Amino acid sequence: MCGIGGQYCYDGKIPDQDLLSRMSARLTHRGPDGEGIRICGSVGLVHRRLAIIDLSEDGLQPMTNEDGTLWLVFNGEIYNYVELREILVRSGHRFASHSDTEVILHAYEEWGVGCVQQFNGMWALALWDGRQQRLFCARDRFGIKPFYYTQVDDTFLFASEIKALLAHPKVGRRPHDETLGTYLAWGVQDHSRRTMFDGIFQIPPGHWMMVTPHGPEAPYRYWELKVNPEVKGSEPDDAVAAGLLDRLRSATSLHLRSDVPVGTCLSGGIDSSTLTALINNLIREEAPTSVGSRQKTFSGVFGDMRFDESRYIDEIAAATGVDAYKTVPSPDTLWDDIGDLVYMQDEPFGSLSIYAQYCVMRLAKENVKVVLDGQGADELLGGYLAYQGSYIRGLVRRYRWLTALREVAGSLRHHGGFFRSALSQLAVRKKRRDLLKIRSQAMHRYDGSLDEVLARELTSTNLPALLHYEDRNSMAFSIESRVPYLDVRLVEYIAALPLDQKIREGVTKFSLRRAIRGIIPETVRCRMDKMGFVTPEEVWMGGVLRPFMLEILRSPAFASRQYWDADAVAQDYLAFLEGKSQYSPEIWRIACTELWLRKFFDGRGDRA
């Protein structure tokens, strides 16, 4: 896990050493264990090291092959590097280190750009091929690790974070209005190559891109997820559950490979609780040294019982005997941290749940260097309650009337309150979009049948943004966050399952719940609510955060923006404070955008 960056001069000039140093400095939090800068003709490569595997100097980057024709900077982990190394050794390759970085170099020598198909992990990499005078850039299948780029003054610049690209004075001078508008109106981000900075792009998940002396070629999709549209399958439920559990256990074991201590994020929900229980079993069966004899878990809790999951966290801790660490995110500390949080995220974020995760990562930093988290399970297994509507709609379109009626009955039985509140929220959100002056592309996340929605959520409309938040929150504290549910073997297995293994009679994550019977406590396994690392955002916004919000909404800077009707926004917020209108996330998104504009455009991306 690291920070990477670089410059490719198309005109053959030597890269700007001072620029590369400034880019490196802005990525220090991603790699406090070391810095490397290498200039190879017209290419300059930057690396900030967070040492996780092979802590010796043999793992330093930029890393080269035996004859110096290839140079690599890499951010992430190739979890199956041990197995790939054995294959490559049998093919005649010789290794000088025990790092996964060197495996990438030899894999490229062996398979060329097809090497990415061999990797099981998370990565963003840039590999300079001196023989062919090309820069090979690639990102993992889900975009767990970031890769941003831009072009300016006949050069190609890339980095792990946007703020590093802003080290060049001509880059990111203004927002990209359409992308910003889509976020403000619909709460969607990281759904395309474009970012909220004009002229700055990202390699999409599951793509690689080649840069030559003629410039960057169009990104090439090397992996595409297919979600099974069938409702029923021939395989018995128990067999499906056993297959899922075997793959999840294997993925978890693989994600524990580390030469530094590993802990677990525990929210009290099904996904993180399952990981915690599986890791505890692996301690007895495989004794991973990265975990030790006693697992450490990290959780965010609250005094307000409507948002607190302490009961479930405590049940898992009691059942597994873990060392459970807890933090209490507070609105009082939020405003002390908000400047750093906005800076670290690079782009505005959709809710204050991000702050709970930020606090959990800060807590974890005191004890471990790597954490495992349950990200991705909801999108894979239909965990969000709004997916129920997509499932029922798809059943009706396929004339599966009886199954649709069963799903309606099950959804109302288990989640009736959610659907009643969702209907009123839709009206509130539609009204608040009228506060905006900026144009946006309509983004209806739940349109289509369940298979279409899940494929889209995994690759564009939801998961990439959540991974963005998690990467920045963890790296803000030099923590590597790993997500075993996105192991490619597990993902492809679940994607191929029929839809009723994901949702059945209103029960979400049906096959996972069946698989973990007897592994986690029944009170957790049978939970029907969905929380995760949330905050009492509505309570905070109507209480402690009120003076800060009013300062933002009444400021001359806020009034000067072209993106909203400032007076109408202020009146709308006052109506919420007076109990005349419901809360909805649009209120926070507008305020967060103002803070972002101040940080990255009024202040040009300074951390202080």
Enzyme catalytic residues:
2
Closest CA to 65 of 109, 19, 33: 109
Per-residue b or e along 469-483, where b marks 16 or more CB atoms closer than 10 Å to that residue's CB? bbbbbbbbbbbbbbb
Joined tokens for residue 242: 């056993």
Residues 6+ apart with CB under 8 A from 182: 188, 189, 191, 440, 441, 443
Alpha-carbon dihedral angle through residues 216, 218, 222, 226, given to the nearest 10 degrees:
150
Which residues on adjacent β-strands are paired with residue 215? Answer: 212
Q: Quick one: 559 exposed, middle or buried, by C-beta within 10 A (0-12, 13-18, 19+)?
A: middle
Q: What's the gap between Cα 356 and its chain centre?
A: 15
Q: Give the number of residues written for the chain.
A: 608
Joined tokens for residue 115: 């090497």
Would you say 368 and 482 are in contact if contact means Cβ atoms under 8 Å apart? no
Kindly report the backbone phi and psi dihedral angles of residue 470, in degrees, each rounded to the nearest multiple of 5, phi listed first. Answer: -65, -40
Rounded distance between C-alpha atoms, residue 558 and residue 520, angstroms? 49
Closest CA to 94 of 65, 56, 137: 65
